[in-house]
Amino acid sequence: MKTLILVVMAGVLSLFGGDLHLFSVPNADGKLNATVVEKALESSGFTIAANSEMNGPFMKQFQKTDFSQFNLLTAYHKNLSESLVKSHPDAGIFVPMGFGIYQRNGDKELHVSVLTAAAMEKIAGFKAPEFAKIEKEVLSTLKKAFPKAKVSESETSLPKEGVLLSRFVKASSKESWASDKDSTEMMIEEGLKPAGFVLSNFTDYNFALGDKTPFDFYDTYSICKLKVIYTVAQTRPEASAFAPCTLMVYKKKDSDEIVMGFPGVYNWMSSARVSDPEAKSVLLQAQNDFEEVLKSTVE
């Protein structure tokens, strides 16, 4: 009886939808891949930050992979992201945003996972109309690229076990911000590598914003840890929508502080329902290592 109740409850919860849009498209011949997603996004006004093939690194470090395809693609919408970040600077944690693209060995379908607008608002801690507009562009683009895809939402997210946005602030000034920026970002870059992190992409977003930018600088880093991605993918490959993680580092012209922040691993555990002990262990270690690096820049 208890088992029946649990099954029924799980089915009811899944009806409410979760934090991830999931696309599943027939791909027995393997002809559909991340390049299709990349080209479709580019044609819809998105800038591609990176399209990283992960099977090569998986094989090199772990000597095996369970996937015939596994890509981490990051992108941002040129116009909508600009409007969003100018009005809500912390939205830079989604510039770029992630797309997990994967197909298990023996699976006849290609899968794509991406965050919902509601999930992005939950993580960022505020509501903005641009989130829904970006979501609309993403969904229409993927549906056009994969007209035969089955589209669904993930199961209802698990209760969060920690803060969803890890945010750090460092004092700065109009006179010292340039040197503060250089020293801060140098400490970040030098601190991440020994902890096993890889900087897969760097975006000078202030350059994209142009002359009327409200920031002295706005940089974002795409950061990943191969062991985390590989371990989590064994049970929850849809969590790849969170990888690589985007670290924002910015200073507003009218502010006396440098802000750093990234979506915490608690999003993986909640939104992608990561409950496997080994996967949670590597996630929490990555969170701790990442926080220690950022703490060192403000001490």
Closest CA to 218 of 227, 210, 230: 210
What is the domain count for the chain? 1
Domain that holds residue 277: 18-298
The pLDDT of residue 103: 98
Question: How does pLDDT run across 34-69, given as a tens digit for each residue?
Answer: 999 999 999 999 999 999 999 999 999 999 999 999
Q: Does residue 117 lie in a domain region?
A: yes
CA distance 37 to 247: 23
pLDDT at residue number 17: 74
Q: Please report whether residue 5 resides in a domain.
A: no
CB half-sphere exposure, 265, CA atoms < 13 A: 21
The CATH number of the domain where 110 resides is what?
3.30.310.70
Kindly give, in sequence order, each residue whose CB lies less than 8 Å from that of residue 10, ignoring residues fewer than 6 positions away.
155
**Residue range 70-81, pLDDT digits in tens:** 999 999 999 999
Does some domain include residue 2? no
Mean pLDDT of the 94-114 span? 98
Alpha-carbon gap, residue 287 to 278, rounded angstroms: 14
Whether residue 234 is predicted with pLDDT greater than 90 in this model: the reply is: yes
Residue type, 200: S
What pLDDT shows up at residue 16? 56
Residue 7 covered by a domain: no
Read off the pLDDT of residues 54-63 as tens digits, 9 standing for 90 and up: 999 999 999 9
Give residue 269's identity as a one-letter amino acid code.
M
250/87 Cα distance (integer angstroms): 14
- Per cent of the chain over pLDDT 90 is 92
The answer as to whether 12 is a domain residue is: no
Angle, alpha carbons 155-71-232 (nearest 5°): 50
Average pLDDT over residues 276-290: 97
Q: Is the pLDDT of residue 181 over 80?
A: yes
Residue 3 maps to a domain = no
End-to-end CA, the chain:
55
* 4: in domain: no
Put simply, whether the predicted model's pTM sits higher than 0.85 gets the answer yes
Q: Given pLDDT bands bounded at 50, 70 and 90, which one contains residue 299?
A: confident
Helix (H) or strand (E) holding 142: helix 129-145
pLDDT of 187-211, one tens digit each? 999 999 898 999 989 999 999 999 9
Give the separation between CA 108 and CA 30, rounded to whole angstroms.
Answer: 8
The verdict on residue 13 lying in a domain is no
Judging by beta carbons within 10 Å of its beta carbon (0-12, 13-18, 19+), is residue 257 exposed, middle or buried? middle
Residue 231: predicted pLDDT: 97
